[in-house]
Amino acid sequence: MKFQPDKKQVIISLLVIATFAITFFIPRFYAYGIYGRNTFNAFPIYYKILLCHGTSLLLCFLVTFYLASFSFKKMLEMLGLNRSIALAFVLALSAALPLILGMQYLHGFNKETGLTDIWINGINPGFYEEILFRGFMIGILVRYAKWPAIIPIVLSSLLFAMGHLYQAHNISESIIVFCTAFGAGAGFYLFYKYTNWNLWFPLFLHSFMDTATTISNWHGSITMSLQDNIFRGITLFIAIYISYRISKNEKMKNKFKNEELPV
């Protein structure tokens, strides 16, 4: 089946892509257009993150609010934020627990880690990246603009992977980091899709996994060591199983719902 969008889908696509692109220029907007480069660079990292990420997410919410015909409820639905928060939190924590405990076992607890560090390196990436990449860009383009999933997945995963290249120090490391981050981007989308579009699950899972490394004495890149990846693999296996069970239960519900009652 060919991708033949109607007028509404074209408008949704253009707004989402334009907004997504604008978010990458927001730091430059503040650095060069508002404060000046030197003043902006002198700000504490947590302030710059609050300013830039906060503006980006606010822009995404406003555009989604418009696309939802100014319905707050519909906006949350479009972003996958209208699902059960408590259940997603518990399931994500259950999946991430092996990695959290494993990093403590392998590297020990970092006593110098403060709440600011946990927010910057643990919680914030999960919230910001999942809402922007998975909920806003991929989710809306696939669910409402009816794009073939492969296009926004590849595009967003490429950008997601490029955003992690700072962790590499040479070409070979860059290739490994890029491939790992690309796979992670695609994987979190699948967690989003197969948990019945509940963005809270990949959001919390992402945050817990990042927090696991933040509160330990681990130092490395997204590729991790063989020992680290054993625990990360267990966490991902549990997350895959949870997603599978949710997807299967949802299919069963839809099957029973669509069955005709006997006369």
Closest CA to 136 of 203, 43, 38: 203
pLDDT of residue 4: 67
Distance from C-alpha of 208 to C-alpha of 40, rounded to nearest angstrom: 30
Q: How many domains does the chain have?
A: 1
On whether residue 42 sits in a domain, the answer given is yes
- Is the residue at 254 inside a domain? no
Nearest-CA neighbor of 5 among 106, 151, 219? 151
Looking at the domain assignment, is residue 256 inside a domain?
A: no
| Model pLDDT, residue 2 | 59
Query: Is position 231 within any domain?
Result: yes
pLDDT along the chain (263 residues), means of 10: 76 95 94 95 95 97 97 97 95 97 95 93 94 93 91 80 72 79 86 94 96 91 84 95 92 67 45
> What CA–CA distance (Å, rounded) separates 195 from 252?
14
Q: Which residues, at least 6 apart from 89, have a Cβ–Cβ distance to it below 8 Å?
A: 200, 204
Query: Is 14 a domain residue?
Result: yes
Domain for residue 211, yes or no?
yes
pLDDT at 3: 62
Q: Residue 263 domain-assigned?
A: no
Q: Which residue range(s) make up the domain with 84?
A: 7-249
pLDDT attached to residue 80 = 96
Q: CA 14, 18, 21 angle in degrees (round to 5)?
A: 145
Contact 205, 184 (CB under 8 A): no
Residue 161, pLDDT score: 77
Whether residue 234 is contained in a domain is answered as yes
